[in-house]
Structure 1
């Protein structure tokens, strides 16, 4: 029987498996990942405010695997052979007829002293630690920022950092102790969040000003110290540092002959095919794709790429030419705990909604709707 191997168990990987079955692909699907549960990282922003508990964001995938006839292999990928037809792991080698790389990206940890910062997108445990650190601080200085992959500016995830910034401000105000804290937002760009669109950037910076959050923008990162962020434009004293570095591809890509972008991700076309590698596909943060310069690294875009890849694999298995292109699209609700700002962008429109409580509740509703798919 034809085997389709999917690497990863996050948003893109699960969507690829589900969409393959939706297209009535009757092949063997093997999913290889170190983890057999979905960690819903978009809701990590709410952990410091105790709006969510860490265990609530971990969804076992046993039901999903049974429903979609997925053979799960708990293993870590170490490389590829035979043009992608063999996946090497720490638990042995696995053959395939089609390979979908959906492992997600890897955080760039080259900044000296980065160990002094908490990196929220690392996972649930970090979100919980942020809550503990905040609770233990009677007063102090908080610095929050992000940067991009210097070799591929689109490989960045800044949205959650804006959310942590505003949520921490809101939380401290609710607790009646915001006046004891200085909060600074830092970013190497003078216009952070540019991929959201000019109007969104204006709104974010205005919101910082309204909340009396200081900004340190347009200065290259130099290093971090135990209680300090150092840039070429000055230093930011901080008792708590939250920082999201840029994204690159998985480390094991270096041992393969796959075509890589300057930023270290797998090169693909608009149909998610890896260049020069028949029946090898990439979706989500592990890939570098053609498209507008604002195209995001986010779960929604990964889902859209996974849907396109699944449709194209189904076409190839049926003897048809793959023709489905993924849709570049950005949907983001920047949550503040009290309300939220909706940003939508595609190749025709860039819409920025006003701050509304409705958007906060929509984000919570979507969380429940999305996770019901896997429970």
Structure 2
């Protein structure tokens, strides 16, 4: 800790769910000069990922699903840089700015909230043909990409090329994959009414999942219901199936199925940020920081962690499984972060931190406009009701009143005027027109 004259230096690594909510809690609860808080993240904003599918589908303005860190954290220092090394032995963190500048930051208290990254598998062609769905940039790109494929398909006379252009493949049957597929399929089907030569049945949507079910967060019967609803919309669902290759856009599945697709979206899981495993802090076999129930890193009471980067004991399941840890999802990250901020303040004031114990309220997923599925308080919800619950829960969880209001207004305007389905293909290559003009 810092001495009695200087504020305690709290360094928060990551500006996602845990980083933002922890910093928000600290700036509300800390007394003047009790501590200084610095938040480090490569992006100047926090992305509320549950709204990415609706942003991609045009139901929400993309800018409204991100929270500017500097605006929300006015009593904190925000540093836009990427963490490259954690050396807790020397209480130093190395960061690199966008311009390549490298510097070391010291601290008294460290909060590791680096979250997770895409779990990338060695599938041939994935790096060249695939795209993830974790950032606002990827959501905007995917929306314009899908609309551009409709434009291209409407202007070609080649039936083979047309079929390839109108085939959209999603790998991963968790919330991210199912919601992105459901929203984008809904958007594209709506958009076909503006194309004279494209019918909804011309579109081919494929979901590939290695496990025997989708949406493992809800009860199995709701997973089956979701598959049935997707198949009713003409979406092909492959369970117990792995992707073997994507080379040159040619999809090969483990059951022998083969087809061509110009759109391959990879949502097949995440893993803890590799910077954590490379640090001198204790990690579990999955590369997550080993933590106590109070979210202090084991053996290091001045280091705190939560969210996807942390293996926090799941006290709600401790009797049935003493080794159980909280799953990496937004619900846990937000709840943990709120308690984490309080615990840091308690320790600063020489009080005992409280353990994190949650009551699972369930999960809800959107499957497109007015369609959803949910398992809340052990009650099954389907269709419009589940869709409404999904929106209500996430707008409540969205940080800051500013963003809650903007998202709500987007929904109201969408209800009055319907969603926008225009393609802004220039975003994919903004310098193309300028370069053509320079050569003319």
TM-score between both structures, scaled by the size of structure 1: 0.86
Q: 1:294 to 1:236 in 2, by over 3 A?
A: farther
1:189 aligns with 2:200: no
Matched residue, 1:282: 305
Which of 297, 303, 308 does residue 328 from structure 2 map onto?
Answer: 297
Q: 1:74 to 1:135 in 2, by over 3 A?
A: closer
Trace 1:19-98 onto structure 2 (pairs within 5 A): 19-24=25-30, 26-66=34-74, 69-83=75-89, 85-90=91-96, 91-98=102-109
**Whole-angstrom distance in 2 between the partners of 1:159 and 1:330:** 16
**Whole-angstrom distance in 1 between the partners of 2:340 and 2:357:** 8
- 1:327-358: CA deviation from partner (whole Å, max 9, x where unpaired): 2636543223321435346xxx4333121167
Matched residue, 1:133: 145
Matched residue, 2:349: 318
Trace 1:1-375 onto structure 2 (pairs within 5 A): 1-24=7-30, 26-66=34-74, 69-83=75-89, 85-90=91-96, 91-112=102-123, 113-115=125-127, 116-121=129-134, 123-137=135-149, 138=153, 139=163, 140-146=166-172, 158-174=174-190, 175-176=192-193, 177-237=199-259, 238-291=261-314, 295-327=326-358, 329=360, 331-344=362-375, 349-356=377-384, 359-360=387-388, 363=391, 366-367=394-395, 370-373=398-401
SS in 2 for 1:30: strand
What is the alpha-carbon root mean square deviation over aligned residues? 2.7
**Whole-angstrom distance in 1 between the partners of 2:396 and 2:341:** 25
Ranges in structure 2 where 5+ consecutive residues have no aligned partner: 1-6, 97-101, 154-162, 194-198, 318-323, 404-440
> What is the number of residues matched between the two proteins?
359
Report how far residue 371 of structure 1 moved. Answer: 4.3
Report how far residue 62 of structure 1 moved. Answer: 2.5
SS in 1 for 2:20: helix
2:131 touches 2:138 (CA, 8 Å); kept in 1? Answer: yes
Ranges in structure 1 where 5+ consecutive residues have no aligned partner: 148-157
Q: 1:173 to 1:9 in 2, by over 3 A?
A: same
Matched residue, 2:424: none
1:84 touches 1:99 (CA, 8 Å); kept in 2? Answer: no
2:272 touches 2:308 (CA, 8 Å); kept in 1? Answer: yes
2:91 touches 2:107 (CA, 8 Å); kept in 1? Answer: yes
Report how far residue 195 of structure 1 moved. Answer: 2.5
1:199 touches 1:352 (CA, 8 Å); kept in 2? Answer: no
Higher helix share: 2
Q: 1:166 to 1:35 in 2, by over 3 A?
A: closer
Report how far residue 314 of structure 1 moved. Answer: 1.9
